[in-house]
Amino acid sequence: MGLLSELKADVVGFVRNPTDEQKLLFVAVIAMAISDRFFYWVDFPIVVRTTAAVGVGFIVLFVASYLYTGSFVPPDGNVDDEDEEDDTYVDELDP
């Protein structure tokens, strides 16, 4: 019953006090549903309709994220603002 109780807690948390990410994803899902119904009304094939709806969802997600946070890329928590003179690129994936 651990999975069901965690799922219930997630749903209750989303309804009572959603995080910023959950709010933005909810807006994107609603935009996808609306655009899917619009493309269905225009009578596009299902593959085109679904792909276009997902594309609209991503566009709405980026626009809503920009409007909500003021930037497209979230700030990096590891950036040291005091050490601005050292601007060398460090690839985290390259050992």
91: pLDDT strictly greater than 80: no
Domain boundaries, the chain: 23-71
What pTM was estimated for this model as a whole?
0.65
- Extract the tokens encoding 78: 């590891």
Q: Are 31 and 57 in contact (CB under 8 A)?
A: yes
Which pLDDT score, from 0 to 100, does residue 63 have? 92
Q: For 41-73, how does the pLDDT look when each residue is reduced to its tens digit (9 = 90+)?
A: 888 889 999 999 999 999 999 999 889 888 766
Q: Are 67 and 46 in contact (CB under 8 A)?
A: no
